[in-house]
Amino acid sequence: MPSNIKLSNAGLATLLAALAMLGPFSIDTYLPAFPNIQASLQASALEVQQTLTAYMLSFAVMTLWHGALSDSFGRRNVILVALLVFCVASFGCASAHSIHYLWGFRILQGVSAGAGMVVGRALIRDLYSGASAERLLSMVTMIFSIAPAIAPILGGWIVGFSTWRGIFLLLFGYTVLLFLACYKFLPESLPRENRQEFSPEFLWKSYLKVFKSPLFHLKAGTIAFNFGGLFLYISSAPVFITQHLKLRADQFGWQFIPSVAGIFLGALMANRLAGKISVWKQVSIGFCFLIGASLFNVIFNFLSQPILFWSVMPLFFYTFGMSLVAPGATLLVLDLFPTIRGIVASCQSATVTLLGAIIAGIVAPALDHSAFSLALGQLGCALIGSMLWYTGRIYWRAITAQKESTLETIG
């Protein structure tokens, strides 16, 4: 039964941000517990690392379906069902008695964790447009940015006074409360008359339309590679913190707090700039921060050994730029195919998560042997993201000019 309670913009942003927090809570909270999980389940370090890869791969695959399901069955219904599945998966992780069971329940978490993030973006675009949508998206990002900051700190504290199982019990409790809040307050933004049929033929044509679009790949790829530069450090955090910076498991905040502060302040700046300057200009400013921070990081780590302040400070400016780019770029992606916005949101999220899974499973293990190689990896992500964005802009201008020329000829 849809909620009849009208939420304010701040209330809706808070609820959608709380849903999006399931993703970082599922990843960052248990990173400090890797050694404990390894000892408790008598697993190898690689097997424990693969619990993250299993989560990311299942997350990436299922994000392709959350939006499609919400286009057919409603935004609210999909979110509520996903929360129930995540509850079961979190309790299963807490009860796992072998690494193989933990893999299975982590896959189930990945299947359900992305619904709030994917469907939430479509919900915002259903209800708002233009600068209003960009402001709400940036507000969600501001609130959501709390999660990556507190998640590893919470995980470190829990491991300090309890066991790693307590982390997943915390996730279970959080999800129960979130389900109750969504059941009572979350609106349904897609009326029945605007829903799409859920048939193999329609889905095939819709996905084909999205994935055949060069603009989709260029704009979605921009967001994915920008995030990839941050996720390289997130997935390498256990090594970066304990081996390169020589810190303890309860000191993950030294890496995550600067990153999250950049996300928060960048989203705040994006919120203030919405409607005042063009999306293209805002994104260009964001890339100045992204590439500048990455270059500084490479130069510093080439010339010096990792030092606490200077090794984490570039992450602040990187994430600041990332948050300036994300809202405008995300809205441009969603507006490519307005009638199947949920599917577009799914495809865009899948590109981010699939790249994240590749980075966590392949790139991070290959680069985390030194701080310099991690910095090079981040710079590579920023440069690829910028090339995709500006190529997309050139392609969009060419299409626009061609359409105008065709209209003039017809006229």
Question: Which amino acid appears at position 260 of this protein?
Answer: V
Rounded distance between C-alpha atoms, residue 259 and residue 243, angstroms: 19
Q: What is the mean pLDDT of each run of 10 residues along the chain (411 residues)?
A: 63 87 85 86 86 85 85 89 95 92 93 87 80 80 74 82 89 94 87 81 88 92 93 86 78 79 87 83 93 95 87 92 89 85 84 84 88 94 95 84 64 55
pLDDT value at residue 10 = 79
Residue 179 corresponds to which tokens in the numbers above? Answer: 């389900």
Contact status, residue 222 vs residue 385, Cβ threshold 8 Å: yes
Q: What global pTM score does this model have?
A: 0.74
Q: In the chain, what are the domain boundaries? A: 9-191+200-410
Q: Could you give the count of Cα atoms lying within 13 Å of 136 in the half-sphere of its Cβ? A: 24
Q: What distance in Å separates the CA atoms of residue 370 and residue 300, rounded to the nearest whole number?
A: 13
Q: For the structural domain made of 9-191+200-410, what CATH number should be given? A: 1.20.1250.20
Predicted local distance difference test score (pLDDT) of residue 92? 94
Question: Quick one: pLDDT at residue 408?
Answer: 58
pLDDT of residue 44: 86
Per-residue confidence (pLDDT) for residue 403, from 0 to 100? 66
Give the residues across from 274 on adjacent strands: 277
Check residue 5 and give its pLDDT: 58
d(CA 325, CA 357) in angstroms, rounded, equals 22
d(CA 82, CA 297): 39
Tally of CB atoms within 10 A around 392? 21
Position 405 scores a pLDDT of 64
Instruction: Tell me what pLDDT residue 388 has.
Output: 95
What's the rounded Cα separation, in Å, for the pair 34 and 51? 10
Of 36, 388, 56, residue with least CA distance to 234: 56
SS3 content of the chain, % helix, strand, coil (to 5): 85, 0, 15
Quick one: tokens of 352? 């981010």
pLDDT at 409: 62
